[in-house]
Structure 1
Amino acid sequence: MLHEFSRTELIIGKENMEKLRNSKVAIFGVGGVGSFVVEGLVRSGIGKFVLIDDDSICLTNLNRQLHATKKTIGKPKVDAMKDRILEINPKAEIATYQEFYLPGQGEKLIFDDYDYIVDAIDTVTGKLDLVVNAKNRNIKIISSMGAGNKLDPTAFEVSDIYNTSVCPLAKVMRRELKRREISSLKVVYSKEIPIKPTGNEDASCAVGCICPSGTTRKCTTKHQIPGSISFVPSVVGLIIAGEVVKDLIKL
């Protein structure tokens, strides 16, 4: 009998579809990259999700984030993403945490039953702590490197962190992971030289913040707001989703 994942089953088989249905993936950060990770995973048949993000959807998210529409502005991203997952697969199991991942939070946000962790968060300290926790618990993890201020989606590739170059975020991660004696980390990164954002104050969150009411980490507190475009973080997210699926079914 035909079902929603019949076309996927044709290329990976029934046994692998069952593996994906029983797999639990935790996505830390469901913004530009993370929302497309989730999209790729749910449409591939992943059956269990954990979504972690403290943000609510903002007007400035509409240019690149999958769950962002005029109707969802102000809604917590994890809730909007959960709704979308259930519209695609009503049988999916979903846990949500509207929290900003910080060092020291591993005990309450990382659990041994995770089959895979996706790091799609922005802060270096959070990324490092997440990687260390995943490695200590022997949970597979993949990290997104810098996707902001980029214009070429074809420049992204999958690599080990120690084989990366050009990307400023990857450079910091290499240095800090080496200090923590982490020997490897699968990442998606780009060799494209980051574009310097224009100094247009009309497009700057620093002077025209429109964060939804109740936002605890307003964009005005960030050192620099990166530029973005629809077809870059989406590609990164789908690349990551592909790597997660292939790793889970060992393709």
Structure 2
Amino acid sequence: METVEDNRFERVKLILGDEGLAALRKSTVMVLGLGGVGSNCVEALARGGVGTLILIDMDVVDYTNINRQAIAFTSTVGRPKAEVMAEMVHDINPACQVYAEQQELDQQNIPTYLSQFPRPDYVIDCIDLVLSKAALAAWAQAEGLPLLVAMGAANKLDPLRFQFTDIHQTYNCPLAKKMRQEYRKFGVGEVEVLFSDELPRKVDNPVSTARSHTLGTMSYMPPILGQMLAGKVIRRLSHFEAMP
């Protein structure tokens, strides 16, 4: 008789089959940045049956995160995002091996710090900081690791405008524009990204004109971005789509 645990991924197995699900259970995915995009991406990976997850984020949950982040609740405000995310993953799938750490990533520590973890089958970049994103891509390129990078969803409304492409084919995305420049400086070539070609809306904040206070986010945009990243990686790791 099947156990509750055996039934956990029954609906996934109906689509992917035994071989596809087995491939996911043997896979290791590294997700860097657990905000609106990253936390929802990790949730989808966990619910999809990925066997090992490496989760890194420097931040703690804030009230301003509640509108879009999978780990943000009144009860989790003030707690490290990596810690809350690990608890959520284990609640979804206790068999999932999770490496979760609260750590700031920068161009100095990325190569040494990330190399201490098990070698991932896929790296997903959901970091906000431009230099860290560039350094991460350089590290992944040097290590020969498949990399998928999230671009920006701030001040945008239409989820139908998201698309996968190479960084050099992006437009109407302020973050992608900056990343093209930084990738060149770091000697990084082609990078697969998920971006939106929707023009960002201008936002006026009467309280503050600081850049971080003029980036509005809808409840559904970062989660959809994260789910799409997870879906791409799941399809590839389960051999339903060719690896890059």
Same fold (TM over 0.5): yes
Bigger shift: 2-11 or 43-52? Answer: 2-11
Rounded to whole Å, the distance in 1 between the matches of 2:124 and 2:55 is: 10
Query: Which one of 138, 161, 165 corresponds to residue 155 of structure 1?
Result: 161
Displacement of 1:224 in angstroms is: 2.7
Deviations 1:126-146 (A, max 9, x none): 000000100100111101011
State the TM-score, normalized to the length of structure 1: 0.88
Displacement of 1:73 in angstroms is: 0.7
Pairwise mapping of residues 36-115 of structure 1 onto structure 2 (< 5 A)?
A: 36-106=40-110, 107-110=112-115, 111=117, 113-115=119-121
Give yes or no for the alignment of 1:247 onto 2:244.
Answer: no
Pairwise mapping of residues 98-177 of structure 1 onto structure 2 (< 5 A)?
A: 98-106=102-110, 107-110=112-115, 111=117, 113-177=119-183
Rounded to whole Å, the distance in 2 between the matches of 1:105 and 1:247 is: 29
Displacement of 1:148 in angstroms is: 1.3
SS of the counterpart of 1:71?
helix
Displacement of 1:149 in angstroms is: 1.4
AA paired with 1:108?
A: Y
Q: Which residue of 2 aligns with 1:188?
A: 194
Displacement of 1:147 in angstroms is: 1.3
Bigger shift: 18-27 or 168-177? Answer: 168-177
Displacement of 1:92 in angstroms is: 0.8
Do the aligned residues in 2 keep the contact of 1:112 with 1:139 (CA within 8 Å)?
A: no
Do the aligned residues in 1 keep the contact of 2:134 with 2:182 (CA within 8 Å)?
A: yes
Do the aligned residues in 2 keep the contact of 1:37 with 1:241 (CA within 8 Å)?
A: yes
SS of the counterpart of 1:195?
coil
Rounded to whole Å, the distance in 1 between the matches of 2:178 and 2:65 is: 26
SS of the counterpart of 2:76?
coil
Bigger shift: 129-138 or 155-164? Answer: 155-164
Displacement of 1:52 in angstroms is: 0.5
Identity of aligned pairs, percent?
37
Deviations 1:58-111 (A, max 9, x none): 111111111111111111101111111111101111111101111121211244
Deviations 1:13-61 (A, max 9, x none): 1111111111111110001000010011001100111110011101111
Rounded to whole Å, the distance in 2 between the matches of 1:166 and 1:134 is: 26
Rounded to whole Å, the distance in 2 between the matches of 1:46 and 1:12 is: 13
Rounded to whole Å, the distance in 2 between the matches of 1:22 and 1:104 is: 31
Deviations 1:188-214 (A, max 9, x none): 10111111221221xx5x8xxxxxxxx
Deviations 1:196-242 (A, max 9, x none): 221221xx5x8xxxxxxxxxxxxxxx743311111100000000001
AA paired with 1:78?
A: A
Q: Structure 2: give runs of 5+ residues left out of the alignment.
A: none
AA paired with 2:195?
A: Y
